[in-house]
Amino acid sequence: MRVLQLISSGGYYGAENMVVNLADALNNRGYSNVIGVFHNLHNPHTEIAERAQNKNLCVEVFPCKGRLDWKVIGKLRRCMRDHSFDIVHTHGYKANLHAWLASRGLAIPLVATCHNWTRGTTSLRLYAQLDVFVLRGFDRIVGVSTEVVDTLKGSGVRTERLLMIRNGVNISATPEIPPSDLTHNDGKKIIGVVGRLVPEKGFQYLLESAPAILSRFPGTEFLFVGGGPFRGQLEKLSRDLRIERSVVFAGEQRDMQHCYESMDILALPSLREGLPMSILEAMAAGKPVVATSVGAIPGLVIPEQTGLLVKPKDQSGLANALCRLLADSELRSSLGANARMHIRQNYSSEAMARSYSTLYQTLTRGNECDSAASIRNQDKGSAAR
């Protein structure tokens, strides 16, 4: 079966990582995937194309001049016909819109995955309203968490076309890897964050909690991995708090395994989330996590078992949880080991690929109701293990 995975990318973050993991795992199951990437001339980011090619995945790049590019729609349509795709699977507003327009009349089943469907700003609310209209033309809409599915339901997306499939990561055996060159870990403890530097990730609250942490553990370093429009404000905040010597902004990194290996703890103080890939990856690497209880995070970070949870915007609670882990190496070790096992059992890329495979095959056979029931049964089965 041939599948087009289509995405408009702003860097290499959670959605991009999921697309590469999914295509790789599906190819191992005998599928033929092409990852279609928009090369947005106003904001060029094709890192996902490079990562996919490094995994020997097929890639098509579509130069795009604006939010809606009719030339791209024509190129997409020709690509769909030339490759004889059985499924077109989109990720994000822009991919949804262009694929919907390009596929009109081609009788190719459309699947959309919504990774973190929010209405946090005026522009996002406008995009969401348009997306609801566009998604009416899709055969299935997948939310990566029950919270995302509920948001889609509340926004008018038809319930009978909605289902939930959790993201997954590659859980293959991890070799012993030396600490990353990003940091010089001479007895220091590294609190890492991974993600796009935007306000909704809540990284400002981590910085505001840092003085209290440094007063108890002065050797602590805060490692920020990722880029984004909020970086300048975060750097200024670190200077205003006079902690800039303890903060490293490493930007986007290619070797994420080394990044996770360099960390002692992953922190994610998000205000809103779907199913964050950074937590999945950190837990798969055996790292303890401190995160906020938003989105699907409570299903990942089980308090006192696989990590610690705090309330959003709670600098004091965040500082206390991080200090607790910094002070207790045995707790860090046990939470990390439990976290890795939890991901292995419930959030593998193989399990994700099985669910999407069931969906694809049933859509191409036209038996949609059985597909949704089968996927839900798989989800219940993996949750029970």
354: left (phi over 0), alpha (psi -120 to 50) or beta: alpha
Per-residue pLDDT averaged across 240-254, rounded?
A: 95
- Examine residue 178 and state whether it is found in any structural domain, yes or no: no
Same-domain pairing of 325 and 205:
yes
| Average pLDDT, integer, range 135-141 | 95
Rounded CA gap, 196 and 359, in Å?
A: 30
pLDDT band at 366 (very low <50, low <70, confident <90, very high): low
Q: Tell me, what DSSP letter sits at residue 208? A: H
Residues 38 and 91 reside in one and the same domain: yes
Nearest to 38 by CA among 21, 23, 13, 16: 16
121 band by pLDDT with thresholds 50, 70 and 90: low
How does DSSP assign 293-327, residue by residue?
Answer: S-TTHHHHS-BTTTEEEE-TT-HHHHHHHHHHHHH
Q: State whether 70 and 57 are in the same domain.
A: yes
- The model's pLDDT over 226-246, given as tens digits with 9 standing for 90+, comes to 999 999 999 999 999 999 999
How do residues 325-362 score in pLDDT, each as one tens digit?
999 999 999 999 999 999 988 899 999 999 999 999 99
Domain count for the chain, please give it. 2
Kindly state whether residues 133 and 210 are assigned to the same domain: no
Residue 117 lies in a domain: yes
For residue 175, being part of any structural domain is answered with: no
The tens digit of pLDDT for each residue in 48-77 reads: 999 999 999 999 999 998 788 999 999 999
Reported as a pLDDT band with limits 50, 70 and 90, residue 120 is: low
* Residue 229: domain span: 190-346
- CA dist., res. 301 & res. 268, Å (int): 11
Whether 215 is in a domain gets the answer: yes
Instruction: Say if 182 falls within a structural domain.
Output: no
Lowest-confidence pick of 106-115, 116-125, 193-202: 116-125
pLDDT at 220: 97
Taking residues 154-169, what's their average pLDDT?
92
- Domain containing residue 362: CATH number: 3.40.50.2000
Please tell me whether residues 278 and 330 are part of one structural domain. Answer: yes
Q: Are residues 354 and 329 in the same domain?
A: no
Q: Is the residue at 159 inside a domain?
A: yes
The verdict on 211 and 289 lying in the same domain is yes
With respect to residue 31, please indicate whether it lies within any of the assigned structural domains.
yes
CB 128 within 8 A of CB 119: yes
Residues 155, 91 share a domain: yes
Same domain? 197 vs 300: yes
199 and 104 assigned to the same domain: no
Does residue 179 fall inside a structural domain?
Answer: no
For residues 39 and 6, state if they share a domain. yes
Are both 129 and 196 inside the same structural domain?
no
